[in-house]
């Protein structure tokens, strides 16, 4: 029996790919330690978030591949996590200890935006992340009440406001600075000034995620936030109604103009589950049609049900993920937290090493994208159009592709290519389709050059060999 070498373990682990980043865990730097004792192999894999939705999948794949090495008798894979922030983040003096800033926005009030922000933050904290929650809704602050916060904020010796603690997370809210009966009638510039104070004068310490509950709309406060603190990403909260989604789409466009990646849409009040027959009723969905935000070009991150207990717990100051962890609503928020954490990690890793485009050439017979590592990826226009992953091209529930390659114009080509934030390209095609985003990592994965095709073939053959 040959002696197992660390190089053997690393070699087989190159077959384990992160499904979001589309790169192997070795090149991503996830494999942190390999210990070998005779036939026993122990590996430490460090993911980019404790809320990783595919943690157990990756663990299983690591174990399976390591067992293909001759002489291995026992395998132990330890999964750890270290949240990373975008490499291009430039907010150092403003938020020096905050790795990721996530905005929770909506086009109008009454869609449950604050409820989503509170429970999303609580679910991230439950997963093991360090979390801050900022109530930036200066005109209608509600976070303090929803987390049971009381009292006036204190200052530390450096003159910074000390955030409150509740349910395993830090929070600061306008509601802690004004009385319950005090109307907030400040004009836009005054509200914007308050947001700057929140961002620059609160001692958040070292946290993985700062979840920011924005006021509804697309006014001064939102612009101030994006200009003062470089947002990692944003999510849009809406309900499945035309009137709510039409207004929410303005928020989507606003973030696009300031180059903030929108991770997707959260569908609140998506359905009601009958307590007697357990039937699911989508009470707000338009009859006989798609959901009004199906063509936005961003994914639906989660669907939160209507549940009376959710409102009652909010009034009592306890997030549903804490008070009723076994409820359908809590499960929906935990799934949302995993999806959001995965999206933020993708943005961070894209900027940290998955490559950024330095040149884009769409004038020839193929799309050619030159990356900062020197690689030039090549893409057939028809195939790239076919592989669009927006809601109009892929069913959001089943994942089944709606488009057929043969039905797409073989002469289709991009008429306009725009960069969305620091993580994706958006194409306006000659067939008028313009709702799809292609992340940088996905574009690299879809490269059709000879070297990438050879690597894909080798990986497929290795997978078949391991399966046998």
Structure tokens at 80: 């750890």
Tokens of 251: 């928020």
- The Cα 366–Cα 416 span in angstroms is 15
Please say if the pLDDT value at position 182 is more than 60.
Answer: no
Which pLDDT does position 194 carry in this prediction? 67
The answer, yes or no, to whether residue 87 has pLDDT greater than 70, is: no
Q: What are 237-271's pLDDT values in tens digits?
A: 988 766 666 666 777 777 776 678 888 889 888 77
Find, among 42, 35, 11, 39, the residue nearest to 25 by Cα. 11
Predicted local distance difference test score (pLDDT) of residue 437: 78
Residue 102's alpha-carbon distances to 171, 211, 301, 305, in angstroms, are 14, 5, 14, 22
Q: Which of 117-121, 213-217, 286-290 has the lowest mean pLDDT?
A: 286-290
d(CA 41, CA 74): 6
**pLDDT given for residue 321 in this prediction:** 86
- Name the range with the highest mean pLDDT among 275-284, 311-320, 333-342, 432-441: 333-342
CB neighbour burial string for 2-40, b if at least 16 within 10 angstroms, e if fewer: eebeeebbeebbbbbbbebbbbbbbebebbeebebeeee
State yes or no: pLDDT of 340 exceeds 80.
yes
Residue predicted with more confidence, 290 or 410: 410
Q: How confident is the model at residue 394 (pLDDT cuts 50, 70, 90)?
A: confident
Tens-place pLDDT, residues 416-433:
998 765 667 889 999 999
Q: Which residue has the tokens 């660390």?
A: 6
pLDDT band at 297 (very low <50, low <70, confident <90, very high): low
Question: What is the per-residue pLDDT for 90?
Answer: 41
What is the model's pLDDT at position 180? Answer: 52
Question: What is the predicted pLDDT for the residue at 28?
Answer: 86
| pLDDT tens profile 19-52 | 877 778 998 889 999 999 999 999 999 998 998 8
Buried/exposed code over 343-374 (b: 16+ C-beta within 10 A; e: otherwise)? bbbbbbbbbbbbbbbeeeebeeebbbbebeee
pLDDT of amino acid 199: 73
Q: How confident is the model at residue 88 (pLDDT cuts 50, 70, 90)?
A: very low
- The whole-chain average pLDDT of the chain stands at 80
Q: Note the pLDDT of residue 462.
A: 53
Instruction: Please give the domain boundaries of the chain with CATH numbers for all domains.
Output: 6-82 (3.30.300.130), 98-352 (3.40.50.300), 357-458 (3.30.2020.30)
Q: CA–CA separation, 232 vs 248, rounded Å?
A: 19
pLDDT exceeds 60 at position 184: no
Q: Tokens 């338009």 correspond to what residue?
A: 286
For 454, the enclosing helix (H) or strand (E) is helix 450-467
> Is-above-0.75 flag for pTM?
no
Tell me the average pLDDT across 188-198: 63
pLDDT of residue 243: 62
The pLDDT assigned to 136 comes to 81
Instruction: Please determine, for residue 179, whether its predicted confidence score (pLDDT) is greater than 60.
Output: no
């Amino acid at each position: 029996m040959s002696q197992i070498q660390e190089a053997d373990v690393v070699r087989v682990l190159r077959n384990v790919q992160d499904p979001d980043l589309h790169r192997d865990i070795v090149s991503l730097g996830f494999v942190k330690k390999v210990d070998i004792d005779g036939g026993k192999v122990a590996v430490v894999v460090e993911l980019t978030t404790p809320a990783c939705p595919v943690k157990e999948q990756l663990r299983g794949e690591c174990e399976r591949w390591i067992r293909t090495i001759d002489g291995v008798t026992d395998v132990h894979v330890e999964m750890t996590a270290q949240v990373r922030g975008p490499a291009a983040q430039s907010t150092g003096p403003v938020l020096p200890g905050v790795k990721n800033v996530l905005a929770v926005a909506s086009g109008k009030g009454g869609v449950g935006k604050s409820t989503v922000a509170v429970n999303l933050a609580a679910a991230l904290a439950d997963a093991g992340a360090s979390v801050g929650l900022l109530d930036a809704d200066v005109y209608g602050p509600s976070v303090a009440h929803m987390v049971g916060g009381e009292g006036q904020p204190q200052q530390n010796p450096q003159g910074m406001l000390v955030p409150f603690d509740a349910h395993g997370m830090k929070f600061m809210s306008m509601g802690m600075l004004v009385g319950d009966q005090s109307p907030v009638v400040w004009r836009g510039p005054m509200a914007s000034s308050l947001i700057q104070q929140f961002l620059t004068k609160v001692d958040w310490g070292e946290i993985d995620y700062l979840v920011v509950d924005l006021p509804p709309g697309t006014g001064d406060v939102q612009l101030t936030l994006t200009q003062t603190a470089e947002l990692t990403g944003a999510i849009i909260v809406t309900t499945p109604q035309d009137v709510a989604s039409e207004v929410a789409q303005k928020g989507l466009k606003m973030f696009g103009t300031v180059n903030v990646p929108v991770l997707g849409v959260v569908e609140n009040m998506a359905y009601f589950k009958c307590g007697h027959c357990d039937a699911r009723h989508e009470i707000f969905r338009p009859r006989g049609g798609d959901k009004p935000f199906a063509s936005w070009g961003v994914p639906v991150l989660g669907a939160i049900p209507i549940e009376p207990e959710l409102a009652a717990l909010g009034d009592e100051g306890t997030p549903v993920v804490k008070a009723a962890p076994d409820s359908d609503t809590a499960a929906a928020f935990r799934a949302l937290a995993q999806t959001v954490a995965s999206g933020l990690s993708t943005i961070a890793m894209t900027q940290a090493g998955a490559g950024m485009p330095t040149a884009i050439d769409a004038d020839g017979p193929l799309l050619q994208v030159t990356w900062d590592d020197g690689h030039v990826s090549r893409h057939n226009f028809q195939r790239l159009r076919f592989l669009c992953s927006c809601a109009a091209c892929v069913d959001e529930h089943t994942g089944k592709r709606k488009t057929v390659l043969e039905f797409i114009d073989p002469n289709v080509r991009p008429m306009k290519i725009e960069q969305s934030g620091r993580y994706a390209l958006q194409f306006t095609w000659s067939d008028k389709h313009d709702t799809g985003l292609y992340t940088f990592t996905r574009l690299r994965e879809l490269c059709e050059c000879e070297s990438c095709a050879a690597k894909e073939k080798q990986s497929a053959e290795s997978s078949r060999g391991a399966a046998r």
